[in-house]
Amino acid sequence: MIVTILIAIAALICGGVLGFIAWQITVGKRMASAKGKAEKIVEDAKVEEKEILLKAKDEAFKFKTDAEAEVRSKSVNLDDAQRELRKREMSLESRFDNLERSRKEVETSKEEITNIKSSLQQLRQKQEESLAKIAKMTKDEAKDILLKVVEKEGKEELIKKMKEVDLYVKDNVDEKAREIIVTAMQRISAETAAETTVSTVPLPTDEMKGRIIGREGRNIQAFEKVTGVDLVIDDTPEAVVISSFDPIRRQVAKVTLGMLVADGRIHPTRIEEAYEKAKKIVADDIKKSGEEAVVEVGVTGLPPEVIRILGRLKFRTSYGQNQLQHAIEVARLSAVLAEEIGADATLSKKAGLLHDLGKAVDHEVPGSHAVISADIMRKYKLPENVIHAVEAHHEDVEIKTAEAAIVQIADAISSARPGARRESLQSYIKRLEELEKVANAFEGVEKAFAIQAGREVRVIVRPEDIDDLSAEKLSKEIARKIEEEVQYPGQVKVQVIREVRAVEYAK
């Protein structure tokens, strides 16, 4: 057993010695191989270094050659530039010499002109003095006489020209305009309605009045509260009166009361139900009226909202004239006038139909109805040329198109024609007094009379204060003042009369 162990230990020792020897041999071989490779790499590096140095020397030589060539080229260009610069310097010196000579010549000429001007002024002064001695008057006196002569002759010539222009207008323009307007009026006719703020509702019997009033006035109070109108119950047999400034509200109330009377059941709850139904009925009637007006006139392309607002004019009147019928009439007149003068008839007709659109809501929106109409049309994006014709028909804005002028004329024709409107006696007399008051306020007016139902103002002037030219001017100033201060339908003719009488007595 011990021998075996000793043998094993001896074997291990021998194996370790042999392994160490073998490892030394292997390491020596590897070191020799690595040393050989290193020596080879060093030799290769030395060869490569020599090649790089040669290549660098070649490139440096080439760069030096190129640089020397570029320097020689730039040197040549610099010499050329210097020669060119010297030439320009010589040229500038020559020009400066010429400019200096020219300046001296100009100064010499200026002195000569100054001397000539001074001589002319002296000659003119001597001439004026000689003329003053010959004419025996000063320069200012001669100037005053000349101005007076020119003013007199110019004044007479101006009066003559003004009379010629007025005569031409009366003989040609007025005649043609009258012909066009009369033609249009003959082709258009419309019914007029009486202006009113009340509506009458018939009753089957007088007993119905008590049911409308209700116990302790409960029904009539509920009716007035819901509808917003005044219900007048008086001694009129078999009828009650609805009063309101709002025509649509009045119409809704009228329909509501008619439904209640026909049904026979009248109490607050039933009143509210009937009122809601009546609003729908009137709204449908408004829409239908607007659509019928559009179809009747032949206008297309209007938004439904605009058509509904147009239909509300059915319940709007002005001086007794129904505004929906007035709008239809203005549309037709505008189309006829536009055709007569060659303007856009379609545009004029559409603007004429919508020109009073703002009157449907003018009790709700402040401002001129023409401006309100334009704002409504802009809201629904209608064409700007149509909007301008509507906005300008009462000159809230300056008239810029022929169609705008046509709508203004058609509106005046429809409003001022006989039978179109009714006025109270008080407003009629007030307008006549205002016309006379405006005319009498001007200096030189002796007296003024409003005649022809206020369509003409006849002004008598003092001849010693107003001459012929001033009379022409006065008529225009009075007309302009009337336009600014007086409200009137149609137009007002201003006629200034200057009468001169020479009186002498034979003794």
CB atoms within 10 A of CB 199: 19
What number is the average pLDDT over the span 429-441?
Answer: 85
| Integer Cα distance of 33 and 417 in angstroms | 132
Region of 238 on the Ramachandran plot (φ > 0 left; ψ -120 to 50 alpha; else beta): left
Residue 418 has pLDDT above 60, yes or no: no
CA dihedral 395, 400, 405, 406 (to 10 degrees): -140
Residues whose CB falls within 8 Å of the CB of residue 457, separated by 6 or more in sequence, listed in order: 435, 436, 439, 448, 449, 450, 451, 478, 482, 492, 493, 494, 495
Q: Which range (38-42, 188-192, 222-226) has the least confidence?
A: 188-192
Q: How far is CA 360 from CA 314, 370, 391, in A?
A: 9, 11, 15
| Domain positions in the chain | 1-35, 131-181, 198-416, 425-498
pLDDT digits (tens, 9 = 90+) for 276-332: 999 999 999 989 988 998 898 888 888 999 899 888 888 887 766 788 888 899 999
Task: Pick the closest to residue 371 from 397, 408, 401 (CA basis).
Answer: 397
pLDDT of residue 277: 93
- Domain spanning 425-498: which CATH class is it, in words? alpha beta
Q: Which residue has the higher pLDDT, 165 or 449?
A: 449
Q: What are the phi and psi torsion angles at 310 (to 5°)?
A: -60, -40
Q: What are the phi and psi torsion angles at 148 (to 5°)?
A: -65, -40
Q: Report whether 337 contacts 209 (CB < 8 A).
A: no
Q: Strands (DSSP E) along 153-298, which ranges?
A: 198-202, 230-232, 239-243
| Integer Cα distance of 337 and 410 in angstroms | 8
Range with top average pLDDT, 87-96, 179-188, 274-283 = 274-283
| Integer Cα distance of 347 and 407 in angstroms | 10
Q: Report whether 305 contacts 328 (CB < 8 A).
A: no
| Integer Cα distance of 196 and 317 in angstroms | 8
Q: What is the DSSP letter of 357?
A: G
| Radius of gyration of the chain, Cα coordinates, nearest whole angstrom | 54
Task: Pick the closest to residue 335 from 374, 296, 384 (CA basis).
Answer: 296
DSSP 28-78: HHHHHHHHHHHHHHHHHHHHHHHHHHHHHHHHHHHHHHHHHHHHHHHHHHH
Q: Where are the alpha helices (DSSP H) in 380-502?
A: 384-391, 402-416, 425-440, 468-485
CB atoms within 10 A of CB 272: 16
Residues whose CB falls within 8 Å of the CB of residue 380, separated by 6 or more in sequence, listed in order: 303, 305, 306
Q: Report whether 351 contacts 407 (CB < 8 A).
A: yes
Residue 168 has pLDDT above 80, yes or no: no
Task: Pick the closest to residue 317 from 248, 417, 393, 392 (CA basis).
Answer: 248
CB atoms within 10 A of CB 455: 15
Q: In one letter, which amino acid is 172?
A: N
pLDDT digits (tens, 9 = 90+) for 333-347: 999 989 888 889 899
pLDDT digits (tens, 9 = 90+) for 219-276: 898 898 888 888 888 777 888 888 877 788 888 999 999 999 888 888 989 999 999 9
pLDDT of residue 179: 62
Q: What are the phi and psi torsion angles at 411 (to 5°)?
A: -65, -45
Range with top average pLDDT, 195-199, 380-384, 455-459, 489-493 = 380-384
Q: Which residue has the higher pLDDT, 417 or 475?
A: 475
Band the pLDDT of 62: cuts 50, 70, 90: confident
327 burial level (CB within 10 Å; 0-12, 13-18, 19+): buried
pLDDT of residue 173: 61
What number is the average pLDDT over the span 46-64?
Answer: 81
**Pairing between strand 321-322 and 317-318?**
antiparallel
Q: What is the DSSP letter of 504?
A: -
- What pTM did the predictor assign? 0.47
Q: Which range (87-101, 147-161, 385-399) has the least confidence?
A: 147-161
198-416 under CATH 1.10.3210, yes or no:
yes
What number is the average pLDDT over the span 461-477?
Answer: 87
| Integer Cα distance of 343 and 467 in angstroms | 42
3-class secondary structure for 189-224? CCCCCCCCCEEEEECCCCHHHHHHHCHHHHHHHHHH
pLDDT of residue 272: 92
- Element spanning 446, H or E: strand 445-451
Query: How far does the chain reach from its first CA to its final CA, in angstroms?
Result: 203
